[in-house]
Structures are given as C-alpha cells and as structure tokens.
Amino acid sequence: MSAVSAQGAEVDKVKTGQVVVSATRVETELNDVPSSVSVVTQAEIERQPGSTVADLLKDIPGVQVLDQSVAGVKRVTIRGESPSRVLILVDGQKIGEQKSMDGSMILMDLNDVERVEVIKGPASVLHGSEAIGGVVNIITKKGGKKAIQLSAAETFDGSANALTEYLSAYGGVDGWSYRVSGSYTDAGNRYAPGGPIDDSGYLSRNFSAYVDKVLGKAKVGLRAESFWSKEQVPAATSAGTLVELNLPAWTRDKVSGFVELKDLGEHLNKLAFNAYFQTTYKDFFNYVDPPGPVATSLWTKNWQDSKGVSLQSDWTLGSSHYVIAGVEAMLEDLKARDHKIVLPAATNTTYTNKAHQNTYAAFIQDQWSVSPDWTLTLGLRETIVQSELDSTQDPGLRPEKSSGSRPVGSVGLVYSGFKDWRLRAQAAQGYRFPNLQQLYIGTVHGSTRPTYPNANLKAETSNSYELGARYGDGAWTMDAATFYSKAENYITTVALTSTTSKFDNVSGATTYGGEFSLEYLFDAWNLTPYAVATYLRRHFDTNTYGTSQTGDPSLFGRYGLRWFHDIDKTTRFTTDAYSRQASTAKEFSSGTFYRYNNWQTYNLALGLDWGAESKYRLSLNLNNLSNEKYTEANSALVSPGFHAVVRLGADF
C-alpha cells in the first residue's frame, strides 16, 4: 500500500503495515495524519473488482456511491455532502465540471488505477474549492522495474453481462520508466431482481501513456490519457410526463507533465512543478413529453477546456518544522450549445454560450513536531476566483461577471505518546465557489421546468471539527472518528412559478456522526473478522423550513470474515464472506417526500494467486446471494440482483 504527494512522485513504502499517504501533500504515514483518510490498495482492487472506479469506494466509512440513472459513470458523496462538494483528483489534478447539476463524474477505467486515497472532511486548505465534503485522489499506475513487462486482465460482470479487456506494457531501464495501457468495456442492461432494466447499458474505452526520466536529483515526466463512454439512461415517467435521456458521448482527454527536484539545499527538500491541459466533452439528449400536444427535444453539447499549473516547495526549518508552500492556477473555459425542438410545430432554436472561470490560490502548511509525542499541523489558503459569461446567443441571458476570494484555515493535532495508539483532532474550513451553470447559463435537463441562473450567488462555506483515534499492534487494527460540520449558503433550486425555478443560496446544513473500522487477525488460523460502520445525521435549514429527512441513511456499513491459506510457497487462496447494509433513508425536498428502504446483502469473494511474485490472479465474487431487491439512497436505478464478477489477471 502506498501513496503520492504529487504526480510522478511515487512512494512505495510499507512500514510495519502502516500506509504512507499524501493527505497533507507531504509523504506521511497514515497513523500520523490528523484527518480521516482511507486508502484502497492495488491488492484490494484486484481482489474485489467493480464496474467503475467509484465502486471501489462503496465500503469506505462515510462514503456513498450514487448511480443517478447512469450505470456506467457514478458519483461519490462523503459524510452526506453531495458530489458537487466532493473534489475528484487524478494524480492530484482536478476533474472539473462547470455545467452539471451535481458534481464531477470519475471519467476513467479502474484498471488504470494503482490506488485511491479518500480524505474525509474539508480539505479546501490544500486542495481548493469543492473539497467541502472531502477529496478522492486517484493515483494512476506508473512504470516498472524491468525493461519490458506486460499486464493483462479480463473481467466479466454478470450484473450487466459486461466484459472488460485490459492490456498494459510497462517497464524501467537506465533511469527511464514507462507504461502504455488500454481497456475496453461493453456492458448490457443491468439485471435487477424482477428482470433487466431497459436502456441501462454502456460502452467505454480508456487509453493512457506515461513516461518519466530520473536525471540526478531531478525527475521529469509526461502522461497522456483518453477516456470515452457512451451511456444509456432509462426513461422515467412522473405525473404523466415522459422523460428520456441519452449520452451518446462523454469523454475526457488530458496531457500532463511534471518536474521534481529533490535535496536542493540544507533547508529546501523538494521543488515540484505540475502542469496539465484537459478537455471534457458531453453530448446529451433530453426528450420531455408532458400531457398534452407539446413535446420538447433538447440536444446539448458541452466542451470544457481546463488548464492547470502548480508549484510546491518543501522546506525543513530547524529540527521541528516541515513546511510546504505553493501556488496554483486553474483556467476553465466552457462552450455550451443547446439545440431545442418543440413538437409538433418543429420550432428550432440553437443557442451557444461561452464562459470562463479562473481560480488562483496560494497555500502554506507547517507540520510542527512540538515534542516527540505531539505534532501540530497548521494550514492556510487564499483563493481568488474570477468568472464571466463571455458571450451568449440566448435572448434570456446577458454577459455578466462574478468574482470572490476567501481565506480558509485548518489546525490538526496528533498525539503518539501511548504505545500503538495515535489520537488526533482537527478543525478545518471548507469553501466552494458556484459553477458557471449556476451563475450564468442555467439548465432544463431532465425536466419541463427550466432552472435559471443567478449571478449573485454566494460561495458555500463550512466549519468542521473532528476527533479520532487509530490503534494497531499487529493483531488489532482500529480507526475511529467523530465529526461535526456546519455549512452555510448551500446552492440549490427554488421555484419562481409553477413552471420555472432558479439557483439560489437558500439553505445550510448541520452534519454530525461517527466512523468506525475494526479488525483482528487470528494469526495462527490466518483468520480476520472485521467491521466497518458509519453513523450519519444531517439537518437542512432553508428560508422556509427545516428538515432532518435529507436522503441519507443514519447507519450503513459492512462486516465480514477474511481467511487465507498458503497452498505452497507461490500459491495463496483467499476468501471473504461479508454483508453490506444500510438503514432506511428519507428525503423531503421541494415539497416531495422520498423513501429508500433499508437493505442488506450477503456476498462471498474468492481469490487465487499463484506463480512467483503472484504473477497470476483469479477472483470470483458472488454478490447479493439472496437476490435482495433494493435501491441505494439517492440512486435512481435498482441495484443488481444476484450476480458473479470474475477477473483473471496476469503479469509477465
């Protein structure tokens, strides 16, 4: 298990079972991080493969995964905060979404993932806007140790008769390191108890190439990646209105590079420069047929170009201060084109809107070893955002500007004076600036009711507090945290008339709860019982009402029993029998009540690794053995019934 502090800066360290993570943008052992962090390792990805990257996170305390009608591309919530308040990073660089109702999708294939780090709670000090709920940092696979190596995998997911093929060539020689990878997924309709869900299939393909070179104290690298998907969306009918959606293309193309210099002087440990250019494209079709003779077809094409640069310096000041300081800039340009046809008259209108949002930030963090047992971490960030609707062909819109700035801070404390224990506390602020859709463009997707923009929106803010403890003695492993958060100026939609809405700051949220994970290794039997649980309570306060029915289950988690047996020196058999469950979730929103019933599934994961250095890996996952029919909270699709997932992988 491992982590990175910047793109290309791999850390392959395992110290007595402790994971090294990059939650503080400094290579730090997990036990010494003041915030709540979870890591999904490469071994875990191979042992229980999912259909998407988001599926890898569904059993992390505090995390929920939503499909929102799109089976092939999912979103993530952390501690109840919606996907728009969760920052998605790939190698520390943002996947932005300026024209979306609810945050960024994870547009990449899981076979290209080395590991995933999840920071729970506000991380705006180090990672910027959108990190009110937390951060998902996806670390991609890099090079190898031999001149030429190959990796191949075939995965079959019976929940949708989905087949994924993956092939990668990688290696390293004379200071060079490289990897070239490709994958393709073809998934049919999802099978749920009662039969398949029509129009829920998807196609995707992923390509990536990476190269780096070590030059003395310097390391330079380049990466290119391309993801394409075609998503079907099941039709829905509400109050007599038929809504049909389709995503013929959703793509992400990116080129990035880095330069890293180490050991530059007595005090300057490292200097890292990162830059990237990324384009996302979404082709979206929306057909709405309400009662009566009039129907509407809307075809939307969105192009978003994102350019980002960052410079970070790491300093050792005296014997007790490790300081990082850096600057970042991100320039996002959006072109959104809507083509609207009103039937039966076949009235055609086409509007193109162009807008941009530029974000500039400076940050500093001091990791201060106050004494051998106490470590204090102080952080501060200043963010400046400038945005503008540059041009519009929509007669209902006009060019406008909006800007804002906000300092945010964090304080973390870790105590290590008790053997095998780490006690931690943290207070942190969060910040999220409204996106271009909310400020200037608006939307009509999935509804007959247009939602108008609001250039006067305020930024969302939060103050959060957390207490936690970690314990590990080689047999027992425990991580527990309790948290409280108060957020203000939530952006949502409010009704203007019976047929129109607009974006506005209307609510805040109070969130509190706890996260707990515990396992014990019976070393003589290679047996490990474990449990993971989350308790979550939220309360929304709007201008007109308050509610604790926010759509979140109050309890959810997983418990199970793992066992392994070494057949010989090169062959290991593993099993994991486990249950997943969630309590009932209720939601009251815009005068409508929703209910998601409690559910529980039983599952069995089997694995076999054989060959020198586990060259060959076979996994068989039997999911939802009781064929339970359920829908996870805030999801639109019924979850899969009983199905098997089989993966065969090999390294050469």
What is each CA distance from 621 to 56, 486, 565, 642, in whole angstroms? Answer: 14, 40, 18, 11
Please give the pLDDT value at position 161. Answer: 95
CA dihedral in degrees (601, 602, 603, 604; nearest 10)?
180
Three-state secondary structure string covering 107-133: CCCHHHEEEEEEEECCCHHHHCCCCCC
Residue 206 has pLDDT above 80, yes or no: yes
Residue 540 has pLDDT above 80, yes or no: yes
Q: What percent of the chain has pLDDT over 90?
A: 68
**Of residues 22 and 574, which shows the higher confidence score?**
574
Residue 606 has pLDDT above 60, yes or no: yes
Report pLDDT digits (tens) over 555-588: 999 999 999 999 999 999 999 999 999 999 998 7
> What is the average pLDDT across 235-252?
85
Residue 46 has pLDDT above 50, yes or no: yes
* Predicted structure pTM score: 0.92
Please give the pLDDT value at position 4. Answer: 30
> What is the average pLDDT across 478-505?
90
Q: Please classify residue 239 by burial: count the beta carbons closer than 10 Å to its beta carbon, then call 0-12 exposed, 13-18 middle and 19+ buried.
A: exposed
Residue 537 has pLDDT above 50, yes or no: yes
Band (pLDDT 50/70/90 cuts) for residue 362 is very high
**Of residues 5 and 17, which shows the higher confidence score?**
17
Q: What is the mean pLDDT of the chain?
A: 90
Cα(327)–Cα(593) distance, integer angstroms: 45
Residue 489 has pLDDT above 80, yes or no: yes
- Residue 462: strand, helix, or coil: strand
Please give the pLDDT value at position 17. Answer: 44
The token pair at 397 is 């819109």
Q: Please classify residue 276 by burial: count the beta carbons closer than 10 Å to its beta carbon, then call 0-12 exposed, 13-18 middle and 19+ buried.
A: buried
Report pLDDT digits (tens) over 274-318: 999 999 999 988 888 877 777 788 888 999 999 999 999 999 999
Band (pLDDT 50/70/90 cuts) for residue 207 is very high
Please give the pLDDT value at position 375. Answer: 96
Q: Among 63-67, 329-333, 570-574, where is mean pLDDT lowest? A: 63-67
Cα(448)–Cα(454) distance, integer angstroms: 19
**Of residues 418 and 588, which shows the higher confidence score?**
418
Of 54, 18, 50, the C-alpha closest to 37 is: 18
Of 62, 61, 9, 14, the C-alpha closest to 41 is: 14
Please give the pLDDT value at position 70. Answer: 82
Contact 149, 170 (CB under 8 A): yes
The percent of the chain in helix, strand and coil, each rounded to the nearest 5, is 5, 65, 30
> What is the average pLDDT across 523-536?
97
Contact 395, 422 (CB under 8 A): no
Residue 239 has pLDDT above 80, yes or no: no
Report pLDDT digits (tens) over 91-143: 999 988 898 767 788 888 889 999 999 999 888 888 887 789 999 999 999 99
Please give the pLDDT value at position 447. Answer: 57
> What is the average pLDDT across 439-451?
78
CA angle 93, 97, 103 (to 5 degrees): 100
Residue 351's Cβ-side half-sphere holds a number of Cα atoms within 13 Å equal to 16
Please give the pLDDT value at position 8. Answer: 33
Residue 3 has pLDDT above 80, yes or no: no
Residue 24 has pLDDT above 90, yes or no: no
